Amino acid sequence: MLVKRPHPKRPVHDPTLQADGMLTRATLAAALVSLRERCGLTQAQLGRRAGWQVQFVSRLESGRGRMPDFTSLVRYAKACGVSTGLIFARGSSVVSALTLQDSDNRKPFEPLAGQRICANGTGISLDPHL
DSSP code per residue over 57-124 = HHHHHHT-SSPPPHHHHHHHHHHHT--EEEEEEETTEEEEEEEEE-TT----SGGGTT-BEEE-SSSE
Backbone conformation region of residue 115, classed left if phi is above 0, alpha if psi is from -120 to 50, else beta: beta
Cβ–Cβ under 8 Å, residues 80 and 86: no
Residue 126 pLDDT class (50, 70, 90 cuts): confident
Per-residue pLDDT at 63 exceeds 70: yes
pLDDT for 22 = 75
**pLDDT, tens digit, 9 for 90 and up, residues 73-121:** 999 999 999 999 999 989 889 999 999 998 888 899 999 999 988 866 5
Q: CA angle, 91 as apex, 129 and 60 as ends, to 5°?
A: 105
Any idea where the domains of the chain sit in the sequence? 24-80, 84-126
| Predicted TM-score (pTM) of this structure | 0.75
Mean pLDDT of the chain: 84
Which of 2-16, 33-47, 56-70 is modeled with the greatest confidence? 33-47
- What is the CATH T-level fold of the domain 24-80, as seen in this structure? 434 Repressor (Amino-terminal Domain) (1.10.260)
Sign of CA dihedral 79, 82, 86, 89: negative
